[in-house]
């Protein structure tokens, strides 16, 4: 049934990891896919950390993965800017990881807000008023807005916390300008980058994730087979309410069940 699937696009948060904890069995699923010579891309909407940092975290958790098999919204944002606007200057409103990723991809960082061609926004957990105001200055002086992702909240032990949408909202409200491009899932940029990386057609890939809104709708809109896991965003009770592009082809309890699924057990 799955013999035509050669590539797996797998979400990280809620699918492989929960915070800093590995979801049990996720590492075995990755090792299994590798033993079957399947191509893998780990796809995450995280825009405020670098690929290096994410790779370290996954390796420490016991996941056998290479850095170049990981695509974060920070990575894809950096590649997008470098490809389409190679000489532009970027001002960043984000935790330091995004800046690291931009430097890694030779994107030029603006030295002061007024000279920026783009403002790139991501999650900024230690943001000060001054930093928010500098981002405002960049846009007030003509910088166009790009966001690594536009997720509204992310789960913490203490309930939902404000995500990138809050940073975007502050700048949009103060400037009256709108974000032109959102790089993260469910936009096309993440899938295009993933398919280019693994050099496969959409119909030969499966996307696996915990979010119907980002992972599943992304797959469905691109003709990629979709598998929902119930280890993150979605509960068993919510499954029946999923319709249209949010409805997955397959549902499994956890990534730990992937081998049985693929082997038809």
Smallest separation (angstroms) from Mg ion to the CB of 9: 12
Q: Of residues 207-226, which lie at the interface with Mg ion (CB under 5 A)?
A: 210-211
Site map (CB under 5 A) of Mg ion, residues 100-119, x = contact: --------------------
Span from 84-92, 194-202, 203-211, 249-257 in contact with Mg ion (CB under 5 A): 203-211
Q: Which is nearer to Mg ion, 14 or 113 (CB)?
A: 14
Smallest separation (angstroms) from Mg ion to the CB of 146: 22
Span from 10-18, 174-182, 219-227, 240-248 in contact with Mg ion (CB under 5 A): 10-18
> Which residue in the set 7, 9, 10, 13 belongs to the binding site for Mg ion (CB under 5 A)?
13
Q: Give the residue at shortest CB distance from Mg ion.
A: 14
Span from 8-16, 84-92, 186-194, 199-207 in contact with Mg ion (CB under 5 A): 8-16
Residue 14 engages Mg ion in binding (rule: CB under 5 A): yes
Q: Transcribe the chain into DSSP letters.
A: --TT--EEEEE-BTTTEETTEEPTTHHHHHHHHHHTT-EEEEEE---SS-HHHHHHHHHHTT----GGGEEEHHHHHHHHHHHH-TT-EEEEES-HHHHHHHHHTTPEEPSSGGG-SEEEE---TT--HHHHHHHHHHHHTTPEEEES----EEEETTEEEE-HHHHHHHHHHHH---EEEE-STTSHHHHHHHHHHHT--GGGEEEEES-IIIIIHHHHHHT-EEEEESSSS--HHHHTT--GGG--SEEES-GGGHHHHHTT-
Smallest separation (angstroms) from Mg ion to the CB of 137: 34
Residues that bind Mg ion (CB under 5 A): 11, 13-14, 210-211
């Amino acid at each position: 049934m799955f013999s035509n699937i050669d590539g797996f696009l797998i979400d990280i948060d809620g699918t492989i990891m929960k915070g800093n904890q590995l979801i049990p069995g996720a590492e075995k699923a990755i090792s299994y896919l590798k033993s079957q010579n399947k191509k893998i891309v780990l796809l995450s909407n995280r825009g405020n950390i670098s690929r290096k940092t994410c790779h370290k975290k996954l390796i420490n958790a016991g996941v056998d993965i290479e850095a170049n098999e990981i695509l974060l919204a920070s990575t894809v944002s950096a590649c997008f800017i470098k490809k389409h606007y190679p000489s532009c200057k970027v001002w960043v409103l984000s935790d330091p990881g995004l800046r690291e990723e931009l430097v890694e991809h030779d994107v030029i960082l603006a030295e002061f807000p007024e000279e920026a061609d783009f403002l790139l926004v991501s999650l900024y957990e230690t943001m000060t008023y001054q930093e928010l105001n500098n981002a405002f200055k960049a846009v007030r002086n003509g910088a166009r807005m790009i966001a690594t992702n536009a997720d509204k909240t992310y789960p913490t032990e203490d309930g939902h916390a404000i995500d990138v949408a809050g940073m975007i909202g502050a700048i949009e409200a103060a400037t009256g300008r709108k974000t032109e491009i959102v790089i993260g899932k469910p936009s096309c940029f993440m899938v295009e980058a993933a398919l280019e990386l693994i050099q496969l057609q959409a119909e030969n890939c499966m996307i696996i994730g915990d979010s119907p809104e980002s992972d599943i709708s992304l797959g469905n809109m691109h003709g990629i087979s979709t598998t929902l896991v119930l280890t993150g965003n979605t509960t068993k009770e919510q499954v029946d309410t999923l319709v249209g592009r949010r409805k997955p082809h397959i549902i499994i309890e956890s990534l730990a069940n992937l081998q049985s699924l693929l082997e038809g057990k």
